[in-house]
Amino acid sequence: MNSKYPKNVGKRIVFVTILTAAWFGLLVFHLVQLQVIHHSEFKSKVEDQSRHIDIIPPKRGTIYDRTGNILARSVPCHSVYYIPSKTEPHPVQLEKIQRLKPVLNLTSRQVQDISRRIRKNQSFIWIKRKIDPSAHTAIKNREIEGIHFLGEMKRVYPQGNLASHLIGRVDIDGKGISGVEQKYNDLLMGKAGKRINLLDAKRREYQFEILEKPHPGRDLTLSIDETIQYIAQHELQKTVQETQAKWGSIIVSNPASGEILAMASCPEYDLNQPLQSVSQLRLNRPIHHLINPGSTFKIIPFATAIESGVIQENETFDCRGKFIQVGYKTFRDHKAMDILTFPEVFTYSSNIGTIQIGRKISQEKFYRMIQSFGFGRPTGIDLPAEEKGIVRPLQNWEKNSWAFLSIGYEISVTPLQILQAMNVIANGGILVPPRVTPDLSYAGEPRRNQPSGDRVVSESTARLLTEYMKRVVREGTGKNAAFDKYDIAGKTGTAQKIDRATGAYSAQAHTSSFMGFFPADHPLLSIIIVIDEPQGGFYGSEVAAPLYRKASSHIVRYLGFPSPGHSIKTIIAADKRESEDSEYK
């Protein structure tokens, strides 16, 4: 049969067919390899390159003062990060980072760190967190491949250093690490959400989808009053500067509710730039620093003496001697005294007289009273890391411990614990724990100022001690604390500090303090002031008492000179408008 094709055409067709089939076979094999054998591996690679899951940070709750002023708030900002390319060489990628260096003020060390991370093939690298809006715009306009932004929240503190120790701060991830920010972190924090970003071949976002919505944190209102806090802090700062003291602290509270209206430490620091301060400055001294209370502690032996009935009010004590010897220790008065009655010993703060009183009271009752007033255990204030103080157990007392304790030594307490003890007297013998959030138990009505808590001493004892404390300010060591219009009940304190070199009490270093409440018969505000190592004058009467007078007079002016019987809630919340024309507003 004659064919119109050459002889070997058939073979060629067969050959081409086999070749094509083999080629197809190879293709199919490779396809199977990609789609079946290495399916999961390549799928994850594709997903890595085309999708990115972001965490949506929740909005942290705002912290307000009791009058609704913002103390801390989270505002939106951007953080910039880099998703390295799997294909681009390292120098090209580093070049992109170098372009950001001047805009973000990156240090060479930071750039080196990012370079190292790129080499390690990390899939996500932070460039800088919480950048300025101007830097965000500048970088966005440059449209650099692989550079992305994440919306975050930045904590701002509009009042700067106001109540900085009490409010505390958050870390870079917005988690509370001190103060109220730490204590109420769970409430303020909220819950983060998630979103998925779809990326194109050049790793630019072209679409996103919310996987999980973020839940914002709850707002928090503190019992702090911005203006009272400012007055207290401002006056404290002036005194610390004038007396060249190491540090000072002040607490203003409402004794009936235990609400803290102001709490300050000096030196202070700016919450917006916390890392520029040394960690010692960030100590909230009213609850973190232990001191010997000195004469402010005398309310305890006096309360014990009255409660146990071992001393009559008209009983006298010979305080004319220059000293009194108890065991190996000699105790002195700050000046020559006379024969003093029981209340006069308190009024003139005689150590010799107080030790004679201390000798008459049972050590066991004295120890129980110290515990009842809340010493040796945390007050339970809603702030983190509160010091509990040091109270030696009765069985470990030395022979003369009772004498030391009578005048406020051999015991370490926080300023807040002393305030709490004084508030027992102000509250007619009832211990009300302090708090930095408002007392909601009697929100609105009824408008009264009745404390509720554990009874420590009888009402008559508290009333008697209040009278003694009034005399301290009227005619005793606390005269410098007196100011017009109000009867003040107070007590001064001056304690020698331990000299670390010798281990003995120093004659040069003192802790000066003053505590007091007013109006004495219907207490509205109680204040404690502690000044550490003031230079020049060091007595509580000459350092802390004048500060008490200045701070208190400014505060009552701001409150519109409240009349006795008003509750703090009524004055500060309801009648606030009436005092708006005062000096500080």
Closer residue to other proteins, CB minimum distance, 71 or 431: 71
> Buried b vs exposed e over 209-233: b needs ≥16 C-beta within 10 Å?
eeeeebebbeebbbbbbbbbbbbbb
Contact by Cβ (8 Å): 301, 406:
yes
DSSP 30-83: HHHIIIIITHHHHHHHHHHHHEEEEEEPPPPPPEE-TTS-EEEEEEEEEEEEE-
Longest dimension (CA), the chain: 153
Contact by Cβ (8 Å): 305, 343:
no
Residues in contact with other proteins, counted by CB under 8 A, come to a total of 20
Minimal distance, residue 470 CB to other proteins, in Å: 23
Minimal distance, residue 414 CB to other proteins, in Å: 27
- Residue 573 and residue 197: Cα distance in Å, rounded? 48
- What x-and-dash track marks residues 84-123 binding other proteins by CB under 8 A? ----------------------------------------
Report residue 479 as tokens.
Answer: 């005269």
Closer residue to other proteins, CB minimum distance, 205 or 583: 583
The structure tokens 């899951």 sit at 53
- Residue 574 and residue 444: Cα distance in Å, rounded? 9
Site for other proteins in 201-260 (CB under 8 A): 226-227, 230, 234
Q: Residue 555's Cα: distance from chain center in Å?
A: 23
**Residue 390 is which amino acid?**
I
Report residue 107 as tokens.
Answer: 């240090």
Phi, psi of 294 (to 5 degrees): 65, -145
Contact by Cβ (8 Å): 560, 578:
yes
Closer residue to other proteins, CB minimum distance, 225 or 532: 225
Minimal distance, residue 234 CB to other proteins, in Å: 8
Closer residue to other proteins, CB minimum distance, 155 or 569: 155
**Residue 444 is which amino acid?**
G
Site for other proteins in 334-393 (CB under 8 A): none
Closer residue to other proteins, CB minimum distance, 348 or 486: 486
Minimal distance, residue 128 CB to other proteins, in Å: 20
Report residue 281 as tokens.
Answer: 């400055």
- Point out which span in 5-13, 65-73, 461-469, 535-543 binds other proteins (CB under 8 A): 65-73
Closer residue to other proteins, CB minimum distance, 233 or 494: 233
Minimal distance, residue 398 CB to other proteins, in Å: 48
Closer residue to other proteins, CB minimum distance, 159 or 512: 159
Selected from 75, 336, 440, 443, the binder of other proteins by CB under 8 A is 75
Rg (CA), the chain: 35
Closer residue to other proteins, CB minimum distance, 226 or 333: 226
Minimal distance, residue 159 CB to other proteins, in Å: 5
Closer residue to other proteins, CB minimum distance, 48 or 583: 583
Site for other proteins in 126-185 (CB under 8 A): 156, 158-162
The secondary structure element, H or E, covering residue 415 is: helix 415-426
Nearest Cα neighbor of 304 from 415, 456, 493 is 456
Minimal distance, residue 460 CB to other proteins, in Å: 36
69 binds other proteins (CB under 8 A): yes
Nearest Cα neighbor of 156 from 274, 68, 10 is 274
Contact by Cβ (8 Å): 270, 318:
no
Catalog residues that contact other proteins under the rule CB under 8 A. 62, 69-70, 73, 75-76, 156, 158-162, 226-227, 230, 234, 561, 578, 583-584
